[in-house]
Amino acid sequence: MNGTSPTKPFNLAIVGGGITGLTLAIVLLQHNVQFTVYEAASKFGEIGAGVGFGPNAIRAMSLISPLVQEAYQRCRTNQWESKQNVWFGARVGDMRKAGDDGTFEYAGRPGMKIGDEMFEIHYPNLEDISGVGGVHRAHFLDQLVHLIPSSVARFGKRLVDVSGATDGSEDVVLHFADGTTAQHTAVLGCDGIKSQTRKSLLGSDTWNAVFSGKCAYRGLVPMTKAIELLGEEKAMNSQIYFGYHGHILTFPIEKGKTMNVVAFASRESWTTPEWVVRVTKEELLADFRTWGPTAIAIISAMERHDVWALFDHPPAPTYYGTKPRICLVGDAAHATTPHQGSGAGMGIEDCYILGNLLGEADSVEDLDRAFKAYDEIRRPRTHKLVTTSKEAGRLWDFELEGHEDDVDALQRNMENRMHWIWNHDLRAELERARVIFRQPA
């Protein structure tokens, strides 16, 4: 995907070359919008391993370009055919839920054992999309890289400040840690949860990311070992294990070669400056000492022992500004906890809406109207994700008021809570944004 010669009277800076930044670049290429991608690292890359995309995200990919959806499909890991429409199989992993006989009651039936599947949560009708599932972040990004020309990228460019140009152009000047600068008509901030563009736009620590009360141990288990420990069905299909003040997710990635593991635990605070810390196996097991043999087997098999502090963003009062022109996209706008598996997908939705609005812009003044329409349409939905995701973390951890460890109530909640995310009509949302964009100034 090389695009044709730019025809717009403006040029844009995309700050951040992760999944959101490259997806937005792909949309802009289709509309002949001139842009440059600035990436702090020496090459494009993603941290973390597995990431899941729901039906809304796959739909957004297909609306952006068949090439994006094909890139995703090349990385996607299939579950069993009989489990293709299953988000997660739900189980209890914490022995404290069981009575003295090692069992608990579920759906009016006694005798349920720790680790047994209680129910499955299914995706909605998937006729209009081609498959959901997990991918390795870095592998998906590698596929997206092939869809943009190498000439648009600038590496080793860590943004430290943004200012207005002094030449009367109303342009934006980007200041980088290496002492260089770049001038563009506007800046699109795709620089993640620690976004410098967010700080430049909002201008107050009030809007910086805050600790969510949760941390996550992330790791990988070779699938051959996972099958040996858990059996094929558990290892090769997505599972969630509930517990007191923690839960565990597993799902296959890398075309079934690897089982991705994320083990969550509650923390009152996070005082370490680093957000990712190496820990010993003993420290990891200490957070799950009351859990059953299945959970212990999973976390004991993890090849690395990294704990990630989970932060999210307070709801920003705006996603854009005009002096200087900055617009926030993806995690820079609305970083969320991962408990509903929709953060990356929301970023791709952002790219579909914003990229198409920018494609309709024919003047510098149009940029302001495009940003306004994007902000008005996207901010309520993405703020809701941040709020409900934090709530979901408490639900999975038997902490949500009115639910606690009532697995019947948890099932009823879980069966409905994702519908507003998955069943979203993106075409209709874009049309509403276009109506706002076309309103007279």
DSSP state of 314: P
Half-sphere exposure of 264 (CA within 13 A, CB side): 27
* Residue 67: how many other CB atoms lie within 10 Å: 16
Cis before residue 324, ω within 30 degrees of 0?
yes
List beta partners, residue 311.
211
User: Whose structure tokens read 């670049």?
Assistant: 25
Q: Two tokens at 84? A: 């293709």
User: Whose structure tokens read 């290892």?
Assistant: 235
Q: In whole angstroms, what is the distance from residue 27 CA to residue 39 CA?
A: 18
Polymer length of the chain: 441
List beta partners, residue 136.
50
User: Whose structure tokens read 């008005």?
Assistant: 376
Q: In whole angstroms, what is the distance from residue 75 CA to residue 136 CA?
A: 7
| Catalytic residue set | 218
Q: In whole angstroms, what is the distance from residue 283 CA to residue 277 CA?
A: 12
Are the beta carbons of 156 and 178 closer than 8 angstroms?
yes
- Complete DSSP assignment for 286-336: HTTTTB-HHHHHHHHT-S--EEEEEEEPPPPS-SEEETTEEEE-THHHH--
